Amino acid sequence: MSEARFAASDGTTIAHRTFGNGPRVVTALHTLSLDGSWYARLAEALGSSYRVVCPDFRGHGGSDEGPEPMTLARLAADVVDLWEHLGIDTSVVLGVSMGGMVAQAVAASAPDRVEALVLTATGGGFAEDAREGALQRLAGVRSAPDMGALVPVTLERWFGDAAAADDLDRARDALARTSTRIHADALEAMLDVGRFGPPEPAVPTLVVGGDADVSAPPAAIDALAAKYPGSRRVSVPGPHLFALTDPAVFAAEVRAFLDEHPIADRETPR
């Protein structure tokens, strides 16, 4: 694993990690308040055929906050800036939760550079009742003095009741280090996901949900799959962050999907 930092197009310093050096590049995008280091287990589970590139979103991990508001479009631009910095022409884009929303923004803005999409434990828009709930959650975060009271409910949503103690401790520490402003800005950015439609031309898309996920329940995963015509919809065991904490089954699904869609299958190679 290697770690480095670079300057995005607006001058903000963005941290990133790379796991492996295989021929197929997967850009893996994390959820709010965590960082790219959480993809270590998934990278190992994917195997030696992959090079997994994991940026830290601005305001997260080792990345600076930057002068611009945190939006899905800005985070997507950071991903493209990272590709330019690393000399990556095209990549699979994989995102979990908020990362899946950023992945949709990347695909919509740079479809010719996306070999395939893997949208995991995420959504493609907010129905009216879900949006109202998200706005209430956002207001609660903005009014909180710190993340203290918000940590237990967030951990429950992410991990359910079967998480390993070290994962809980690690996530608890990450949440405690996150300012309520950054957490709220990320939540607010997520509300904008509905404006990003499927890329044109279409790219192969895998949509994966956990069968015990209360943050992105099966109905939300079904709706996301419907948003991407021709996508494959898969259910795997586990709560919201199954792809990070217990990725074996998920990695097998990803490998099988990508094996069916080699780089040469791109309709408009760059």
CATH code, 101? 3.40.50.1820
pLDDT string in tens for the chain (270-residue length):
999 999 999 999 999 999 999 999 999 999 999 999 999 999 999 999 999 999 999 999 999 999 988 999 999 999 999 999 999 999 999 999 999 999 999 999 999 999 999 999 999 998 777 788 889 989 999 999 999 989 999 999 999 987 899 999 999 999 999 999 999 999 999 999 999 999 999 999 999 999 999 999 999 999 999 999 999 999 999 999 999 999 999 999 999 999 999 985 544 433
Tally of structural domains, the chain: 1
Residue 158 lies in a domain: no
Tell me how far apart the alpha carbons of residues 208 and 87 are, in angstroms, rounded to a whole number. 29
Task: Classify residue 21 by burial, with Cβ atoms within 10 Å: 0-12, 13-18, 19+.
Answer: exposed
Tell me how far apart the alpha carbons of residues 130 and 219 are, in angstroms, rounded to a whole number. 12
Residue 223 lies in a domain: yes
Residue 135 lies in a domain: no
Q: Please state the separation of Cα 157 from the chain's center in Å.
A: 16
- The confidence score (pLDDT) of residue 159 equals 95
Task: List the structure tokens of 145.
Answer: 């003095």
CB atoms within 10 A of CB 185: 21
Residue 49 lies in a domain: yes
- The confidence score (pLDDT) of residue 128 equals 77
Residue 185 lies in a domain: no
Residue 162 lies in a domain: no
- The confidence score (pLDDT) of residue 264 equals 58
Residue 95 lies in a domain: yes
Residue 231 lies in a domain: yes
CA atoms within 13 A on the CB side of 60: 28
pTM above 0.85, yes or no: yes
Domain of 217? 2-124+194-262
